[in-house]
Amino acid sequence: MPKTTAKLEDFEVLVTIGSGTYGTCKKIRRKADSKVFVWKEVDYHGMTEKEKQLLVQEVNLLRELRHPNIVRYHDRIIDRTHSTLFIIMEYCEGGSLADLIARKRKEKTYIEDAFVWQVFHQILLALEDCHRKREGVHKILHRDLKPANVFLDKDLNVKLGDFGLARILHHNFSLAKTFVGSPYYMSPEQFTEELYDEKSDLWSLGCLVYELCALSPPFTAPNQRVLATRVRDGQFRRIPHTFSSELQSVIADLLQTKPSRRPSIRELLESVSQHTTLSPTVQRQTILANLTGKCERKLIQREDIVREKEKALAERERRLIAREKALAEKERLFHKDTHVYRRSPLEPMETNS
């Protein structure tokens, strides 16, 4: 791992966001500049050597991935006293797609069609970067693509995260054969423990986009055995008719049970980009107008105002500190360079007689 200069005392913990198999995710603030991040606290005390190697691999993967639609890695801190690794990453203010789906399910409303296309497009761009060859490192499969692992920034742009189950393929035709991932989003070839490649990530993407539309996965079952059967059959209901037939068609292409029949990322990008032609600013305004309710829009606007006020207060405080330092230095120089006569308490006072 690379050397780091960050220390635990450089940050303050704001709130716990969530927890997973190995890690607890917390929102933190850097004391030096008040910049907000998240860190994943990973307790490696009880890990096997293989699990520790996987942990090192995850951190190394995060360092390699530099893409606007992938959660950005910033630093890591090792607390050997408590056998804990702190992985510091970009904070995504918009939460996860799982949060959004849960909220829409509760409200009994659907996500805006334009937003689904935008998410679809940006995840494809992130996967394209993962699947490309790198010097010394070749293709990276995510292997756990699901709504809970896709985050949104303050402008509602996608940030693909949690590469804990990622696997590096060191040859063009290398295939993986490990039963990992969340069952609802696993491909048929993973269920049958066959060899699989990047087309497996595309199946998971199809399940994710379907859930964005229908607010539930395309394949559900009371147990994993029944789920495996339904996934292998590949039969699923149409997404709600509020969504376009083009979206239904591309989801069907992704959920082909035979990997060879699924389109490539390049083919998908050519198709999906036709539905995301608006500028990012116009897209955000359109999506916000439909994705959030009136109260939520006011809350977002209020948060923007508070954020600007916080910046102004921080700048004002910085100027006051600088001014106090300048005054203190001026006073120090005055006492150093100027002789001030002080009367002894025993010296008689002058009187007018």
Instruction: List, edge to edge, every strand of the sheet that includes 11-19.
Output: 11-19, 23-30, 36-43, 84-90, 73-79
Helices 113-131 and 265-272 sit at what angle, rounded to 10 degrees?
A: 150
Helix (H, G, I), strand (E, B) or coil at 195: coil
The DSSP 8-state label assigned to residue 48 in this structure reads -
In whole angstroms, give the CA distance from residue 190 to residue 170. 19
Q: Which listed residue (129, 144, 162, 201) is catalytic?
A: 144
Closest CA to 239 of 135, 140, 116, 327: 116
Catalytic: 99?
no
Distances (CA, A) of 40 to 4, 146, 162, 168: 16, 19, 10, 22
**Is the dihedral angle over the CA atoms 319, 320, 324, 325 positive or is it negative?**
negative
Confirm if 92 and 151 have CB atoms less than 8 A apart. yes
* Residues recognised as catalytic: 144
